[in-house]
Amino acid sequence: MIRYGILGFGHHGRRRLIPGFAGAKEARLAGIWRRNIEKAESDANEFGIEHAFSSAEELCSSPAIDAVFVTSPDAFHMRDTLLAFRHNKPVLCEKPLAMDAEEVRQMLAASQKANLLFGVAQNFRYNRSVNLIRDWVQAGRVGKPIFASAHFYFQAGHSPRAWIYDPSLARGGVMGDVGIHCIDALRFILQDDVSAVTTIAASDVHSKDIDSNAVLTLDFARGAIGSMMVSFRSAYRTLLEVVGEDGIVRCESGLTVDFPVDVLLLQGGKIIESQQVSNTDGYSRMLDGFSAAIEGHGSYAATGEDGLRNQLALDAGYASWRSGRKEIVSGSR
């Protein structure tokens, strides 16, 4: 059993991680830290968490903590990750890993120097829908992939995470917040890397200088064309689809964790197979996967290196928005 401490406990911790730990078999939430110690103590009492630490340093140095889960705003990810590594603790870090790829490289270098496990919390790699789509695509059931699409919309105006509108704390807007999930899901399904990105995006009176809606075209190294549509302004929806030379695999609500979803395989315009799966245990499976990797009897599905590849594609996406041109992903050629 791996005992975790969360740095930056907040809305995401309450809504998703507390249930995730409750369902995990090899992971236990043993401590939290947030800037307001009174709120941390209140949260610890509410959820039965043993320790509410007075500082990030105290959490990372505590012998009661085996691994650190960094869930602070994006701008603090590198700081908090390096602190944990200095105290010889493996790190699972929320997405995007940092404010740019150079920060991620520093985090990776620190993990390698300390010989410590470093993973990114791309929880959708543990969704059964995403796993099934990947398995069907990799088994050749749609033939050679031609197009791969991921959509993720929600109304951020209702989000209690006010910091996602602050460019000093968040890596951009909707592309950094949920677009990174789309990039990772398509990379994972295709088992391929993004070589270039073209972006059309918009901001509005509420998002100001950050992106509130965006469409990205992704060139994949082996020839597939990816597309992403992400929004802070639409009613909630997620979609995953891969179009191949011989068929299509599609899943409406493919990235949701709140209710069962149907994964469809179509050939000749007809559904030839349909499987209903539940993603409700995705966070628990992610935590158990990281715990197993720490204990040396498994591998974690979303490594720090995956986080770097996602960050490179995200950085290219923002560069394309600024330049109005297709941008080559750094290190892809």
Rounded Cα gap, residues 310 and 183, in angstroms: 6
**Residue 25: pLDDT band by 50, 70, 90 thresholds?**
very high
End-to-end Cα separation, the chain, in angstroms: 42
Q: Mean pLDDT for the chain?
A: 96
Return the H-helix or E-strand segment holding 286.
helix 282-295
Q: Where are the domains of the chain?
A: 2-121, 125-277+311-328
pLDDT at 158 over 80: no
**Residue 236: pLDDT band by 50, 70, 90 thresholds?**
very high
Per-residue pLDDT, averaged over 311-327, amounts to 98
Per-residue pLDDT, averaged over 111-135, amounts to 98
pLDDT value at residue 163: 87
Q: Angle at CA 21, nearest 5°, toward 88 and 286?
A: 70
- The 8-class DSSP code of residue 325 comes to S
> Which of these, 306, 127, 142, 317, lies nearest to 219 by C-alpha position?
317
pLDDT value at residue 159: 79
Q: Beta strand pairing status for 27-33 and 2-7?
A: parallel
**Residue 268: pLDDT band by 50, 70, 90 thresholds?**
very high
% of the chain surpassing 90 pLDDT? 94
pLDDT value at residue 302: 98
Residue-wise pLDDT tens digits, 34-77:
999 999 999 999 999 999 999 999 999 999 999 999 999 999 99
Residue-wise pLDDT tens digits, 168-184:
999 999 999 999 999 99
pLDDT at 119 over 60: yes
pLDDT at 160 over 90: no
Identify the CATH assignment for 2-121 out of 3.10.180.10, 3.40.50.300, 3.30.70.360, 3.40.50.720. 3.40.50.720
Residue-wise pLDDT tens digits, 287-308:
999 999 999 999 999 999 999 9
pLDDT at 13 over 60: yes
Contact 111, 318 (CB under 8 A): no
pLDDT at 333 over 70: no
For 120, half-sphere exposure in the C-beta direction (CA atoms, 13 angstrom radius) is 26
Write down the CATH number for the domain with range 125-277+311-328.
3.30.360.10
Q: 239-267: buried (b, 16+ CB within 10 Å) or exposed (e) per residue?
A: bbbbbbeebbbbbbbbbbbeeebebbbbe
Handedness of CA 136, 147, 195, 229 (dihedral sign): negative
pLDDT value at residue 219: 98
Residue 320: other Cβ atoms inside 10 A: 21
Who's near 95: CB < 8 A, 6+ residues apart?
120, 121, 122, 180, 181, 184, 307, 310
Tell me the whole-structure pTM to 2 decimals. Answer: 0.96
Q: Give 248's strand partners.
A: 243, 266
Contact 145, 242 (CB under 8 A): yes
Per-residue pLDDT, averaged over 113-123, amounts to 98
pLDDT at 16 over 90: yes
> Which of these, 297, 299, 150, 327, lies nearest to 237 by C-alpha position?
150
For 269, half-sphere exposure in the C-beta direction (CA atoms, 13 angstrom radius) is 0
**Residue 237: pLDDT band by 50, 70, 90 thresholds?**
very high
Residue-wise pLDDT tens digits, 247-263:
999 999 999 999 999 99
Residue 25: other Cβ atoms inside 10 A: 12
Contact 176, 315 (CB under 8 A): no
- Number of residues that this document lists for the chain: 333
Q: CA torsion 156→158→159→165, rounded to 10°?
A: 50
